[in-house]
Amino acid sequence: MQGQSHHDLSRRDLLAAGAATLAGSSAGSPANAAPASPGAAPASEARNEPSSAPTPGPVRMPVHLTVNGTTRDLEVDTRTTLLDALREHLSLTGTKKGCDHGQCGACTVIVDGVRINSCLTLAVMHEGAEVTTIEGLGTPGHMHEMQAAFVKHDGYQCGYCTPGQICSAVAVLEEIKAGIPSHVTQDLVSAPPLSEDELRERMSGNICRCGAYSNIVAAITEVAGSPA
């Protein structure tokens, strides 16, 4: 429109100008370029051509464990956690998968005398290790004293966290006997009788969403030989 300033452009004129600009810029795109010589692969195909190298598959390795006193020989994907090896390969489902991030403690087992979160470690990292799960501590007909104390003091409600709680509690008493200090509060170290604060701090990595903490402390205190 003659004499019209850019301030007077209508929305229709602005859109038309933009479309013309895009059309002009696309003229130099590969779609409008001269065709390649006969027999040459299009550039798009050359860019997307898959590599001729084969894609590596899962790596499997043998691992030998002593689980609850029995030697077990496994062959697992190297990415398999100890938790999944116990549950999926050995059918020891007492050990629970909770958060799968090492935050709830439901997967706690005892490895070479030390409690660990089995969801955070790979099975192949424990070649030759001795692993104790809840099944190895006791049976319904012959319970470990910690299991019996949990029953006596109602140290569980839904029971999902209980295997990890009991394995952790057993290891806690062994830590105290060995004089190993608490991880956070260094002054809460094994001066019998055990304080409730020390037990709570040492068991803080095991979460009970039902809130049976006071009963759990009472059960551990009884096994430790102190009045509940």
192 - beta bridge partners?
Answer: none
Confidence check: pLDDT of 4 > 90 = no
CATH 3.10.20.30 holds for 60-137: yes
Residue range 131-152, pLDDT digits in tens:
999 999 999 999 999 999 999 9
3-class SS at 62?
strand
Whether the full predicted model's pTM is greater than 0.75, yes or no, is no
One CATH from 1.10.150.120, 3.30.565.10, 1.10.10.10, 1.10.8.60 for 138-228: 1.10.150.120
Give the end-to-end CA distance of the chain in Å, rounded to a whole number.
95
Q: Which of the 8 DSSP states describes residue 122?
A: B
Residue range 59-106, pLDDT digits in tens:
999 999 999 999 999 999 999 999 999 999 999 999 999 999 999 999
Q: What is the pLDDT of residue 1?
A: 47
